Amino acid sequence: MRNDSSRTVVASSAAGWPRARVAKLTGLLALVVFVVAFPRMAADPFILSVGVIIMSYAVLATSWNFVGGFTGYISLGHASYSGLGGYATVLLILHTGVNPWLAMFLGGVIVALLAIPIGIASLRVRGASFVIVSIALVLILLLVFQSWGSFTGGSNGLRVPRPFGDEVLRPEQHERFFYLHAVLLAIAVLCWWLIDRSRFGTGLKAIREDEDKAQSLGVPTFAYKLVVFVISAFFTALGGGMYALWFGFLDPIFQFSILTGSYMVLMSLLGGIRNVFGPILGAVIVGYAMEFFKAQYGDTQIHLVALGVLLGIVVLFMPDGILPALRGLVIRFRPQATSIREVTQEELTRDATGSREESATDRGTGTKEEVSG
């Protein structure tokens, strides 16, 4: 299933199907109009600030999806790059006095450079080490930024100078940052889309579907993974830097938090990592759900349980995100398919045989037996 969906992308974009393109452009236009109009529609600055937060989530999740979506490598530690981006931006402003926006860009470049050795260490071997490094990196950065007080402000945190003057009141700041985040998001989405259509993107997706096969077909897997990883770190850092400029305060505990990273994963997976708009959809759903649950169920630890259960459900039952799951539901109610189980089984068999071709893991058979038995 996954194999033929990626083939369809190539085929349809080559053919240039005009009606679908019109539909797509209309959808995109509606989205843009909505984003432009949102600050006008927001009833008060609080809603606008929630809008900024969700926009920031969308930027971070889309940035995460460069690695997660293209290569299938799940990084739980992308908070490292957003946190580093925030700190790099603010430290540059404080120590060199450069323009905040230039500092943000330079911060992104610095983080991208740092991501090269990290990527080399974590991508040389397969997924397990990548995950471990991604988590370890958050923990080590938390320690370093807490302890190195003379440079980073340590546990006292760091106050971020305002990029706009005092005459720009808080509600207007929210509005400006909402648009700025939207621009950043548009650039990230455009970049994702360009990679998606390129030869580079096809190679990356080959890695996602089967790394061994991709390698034997001559895809330079390591170099490809590294490049897309650095791009992802760059955009994540820009997102972190912009959020820091808006929020105005950096505290290592909240900057380098595994939970922040896991929200990026949840948003992307929930929306669907194979689609350029998936992470954005996920960010809107999760961001809204968080506000909603907090308003409804206030002061209990249950929000962690909810996050855990939601993530578990997504992983177990709809690892491709909401849209494929919805489509599955439609298929289920079509007359020729009597049960969802048959579809699942069919897919599983195909997956299992697909992967058994060269890197046979007998657990594939095991899974199949579980389902049928």
Binders of other proteins among residues 334 to 363 (CB under 8 A) are: 348, 351-352, 354-355, 360-363
User: Does position 14 bind other proteins by CB under 8 A?
Assistant: no
* Cα separation, 93 vs 167, whole angstroms: 20
The interface region with other proteins, picked from 93-101, 102-110, 154-162, 221-229 by CB under 8 A, is 154-162
* Cα separation, 308 vs 50, whole angstroms: 23
Residues in the chain: 373
Shortest distance, position 110 Cβ to other proteins, whole Å: 19
Q: Which residue has the tokens 């045989």?
A: 353
The interface region with other proteins, picked from 59-67, 97-105, 311-319, 329-337 by CB under 8 A, is 311-319
Of 299, 333, 335, 358, the one binding other proteins by CB under 8 A: 299
User: Does position 303 bind other proteins by CB under 8 A?
Assistant: yes
Shortest distance, position 77 Cβ to other proteins, whole Å: 10
The interface region with other proteins, picked from 79-87, 88-96, 228-236, 253-261 by CB under 8 A, is 253-261
State both tokens at 12: 């349809």
Of 251, 325, 337, 345, the one binding other proteins by CB under 8 A: 251
The interface region with other proteins, picked from 98-106, 108-116, 245-253, 331-339 by CB under 8 A, is 245-253
Task: Give the up-direction half-sphere exposure of residue 357: CA atoms within 13 A in the CB hemisphere.
Answer: 10
Residue 197 burial (10 A CB sphere; 0-12, 13-18, 19+)? middle
State both tokens at 109: 């470049």
* Cα separation, 267 vs 273, whole angstroms: 9
Residues 166-205 that bind other proteins (CB under 8 A): 169-170
- The residues, ordered by sequence, that sit 6+ positions from 76 with a Cβ below 8 Å of its Cβ are 131, 134, 135, 138, 258, 261, 262, 265
Residues 38-97 that bind other proteins (CB under 8 A): 38, 41-47, 49-51, 53-54, 72-74, 76
Residues 116-135 that bind other proteins (CB under 8 A): 117, 120-122, 124-129, 131-133, 135
For the window 207-226, what string marks contact with other proteins as x by the rule CB under 8 A? --xx----------------
How many residues contact other proteins, by CB under 8 A? 122
How far is Cα of residue 271 from the mean position of the Cα atoms in its chain?
10
CA distances from 74 to 3, 35, 70, 258, 274 (A): 19, 29, 10, 13, 13
Shortest distance, position 178 Cβ to other proteins, whole Å: 12
Shortest distance, position 315 Cβ to other proteins, whole Å: 5
Of 294, 338, 341, 357, the one binding other proteins by CB under 8 A: 294
Q: At 305, give phi and psi (nearest 5°).
A: -60, -45
Q: At 171, give phi and psi (nearest 5°).
A: -60, -35
Reference 83, options 304, 290, 269, 259; nearest CA is 259
The interface region with other proteins, picked from 103-111, 148-156, 179-187, 226-234 by CB under 8 A, is 148-156
State both tokens at 108: 């992104």
Of 179, 200, 222, 254, the one binding other proteins by CB under 8 A: 254
Of 102, 109, 139, 217, the one binding other proteins by CB under 8 A: 139
Closer to other proteins by CB, 86 or 108: give it.
86
Look up residue 154 and give its DSSP letter: G
- Bridge partners of 226, per DSSP, are none
